[in-house]
Amino acid sequence: MTDAEVYAALNEIFQRVLEDDTIDLKPSMTAEDVEGWDSMNHIFLIVEIEKHFGVKFQAAEMEELKSIGELANLIKRRAA
């Protein structure tokens, strides 16, 4: 799975869950950079990401993530 594939899928998931077609995720972005990405929507995003990529995350892993880039790297490691 390439970086482009991961980011394309993440963009689609974020746009759908947050109901914002203008979202264009970048590796350095955090929740503070994305309108509507609050604690409740975070749960919905993670559920959708796990379903899409066929992975499961542990709570401790999610707490350590600081950016979209780190999330993308975790997805690639888990999906490999």
pLDDT in tens, 33-77: 999 999 999 999 999 999 999 999 998 988 889 999 999 999 999
For position 73, what pLDDT does the model report?
95
Report the distance separating Cα 78 and Cα 55, nearest Å: 6
For position 63, what pLDDT does the model report?
86
For position 80, what pLDDT does the model report?
79
For position 68, what pLDDT does the model report?
97
For the chain, domains (ranges, CATH) are 3-79 (1.10.1200.10)
For 19, counting Cβ atoms within 10 Å of its Cβ (0-12 exposed, 13-18 middle, 19+ buried), the class is exposed
Q: Alpha helix (H) ranges present in 1-80?
A: 3-17, 39-53, 59-64, 68-79
Instruction: Look at residue 26 and tell me whether its pLDDT is greater than 90.
Output: yes
Is the Cβ–Cβ distance between 28 and 72 less than 8 Å?
no
Global confidence as pTM: 0.93
